[in-house]
Amino acid sequence: MLSNLIKGFENQALASGFPVFFNARFAVIGACVVLSLLLVGSCNNAATESAKVLNSKHRDYADLSKGQLIRHAYDLQNAAAENPDSFYKMTARDLTLMLARPDLERKDYPGVAWQYRSDSCVLDVYYTAANDAALDDSQIQHYEIRERGVITHANGGDAPSWNCLQSLYQERQKVIEASFNEIFASVQ
């Protein structure tokens, strides 16, 4: 197929009077370069969108319609699934929108710990906040994702974070929906 393309370019080059080697070879190379740049650019679009979501962490939910708030929650979930370290750019309010209230909450101010559990894993999230009023805007300081029932050692590797987050989303779906509706009603 590529040889047919090159022959077509060569025939056009001969008809136009330009050197055959220049037109045919460089036209194919140029087309390949352009195509590869387009492919790379389209692959990076999702990561760029996630970065935009996380950079707008102080977004006021009251300014968003219900559809926009749903989209924001979905984008937060995608950002965390793509790169769990994106938790460090999220606030307690973002995590509540994404996963609802935690299964376990411990407040020993200035330290606050939230724990989310599924049948297969546990997500622990840690904040620093002066009081309850400051908690919503507190940025996550540390997180841990671990499998349930698995003892890991320092060199044992990481738990499969994407699978854990997916199990949390699936098992908490009704809780997340109810929490979303409460959040949306409170900001309207």
Residue 21 domain boundaries: 2-43
Please write the tens of the pLDDT for every residue from 54-75: 555 456 888 889 999 999 999 9
* pLDDT, tens digit, 9 for 90 and up, residues 1-50: 545 555 665 666 556 555 544 455 545 454 444 444 444 444 444 444 54
Strand partners, 122: 117, 146
Beta bridge partners of 117: 122
Whether residue 69 is found in the same domain as residue 34: no
C-alpha distances out from residue 17 to 3, 6, 23, 129, Å = 21, 16, 10, 74
CA distance 93 to 162: 21
Q: Is residue 49 part of a domain?
A: no
Q: What is d(CA 125, CA 92) in angstroms, rounded to the nearest whole number?
A: 9
| pLDDT tens per residue, range 129-174 | 988 888 888 999 999 998 887 655 444 445 468 889 999 999 999 9
What confidence tens digit (pLDDT) does each residue in 79-110 have?
Answer: 998 899 999 999 999 999 999 999 999 999 99
The structure's pTM equals: 0.66
Give domain status of residue 99, yes or no. yes
Judgement on whether residues 24 and 89 belong to the same structural domain of the protein = no
**Is there a domain that residue 172 lies in?**
yes
Element (H, E) at 14: helix 2-16
Q: Is 52 a member of any domain?
A: no
**108, 141: one domain:** yes
- 103/179 same-domain check: yes
Is the confidence at residue 52, as pLDDT, over 70? no
Q: Verify that 29 and 103 share a domain, yes or no.
A: no
Is the residue at 55 inside a domain? Answer: no
Task: Report yes or no on 96 lying in a domain.
Answer: yes
The answer on 68 and 19 residing in a single domain is no
| Number of structural domains found in the chain | 2
Cα(7)–Cα(55) distance, rounded to whole angstroms? 50
Q: What is the pLDDT of residue 162?
A: 84
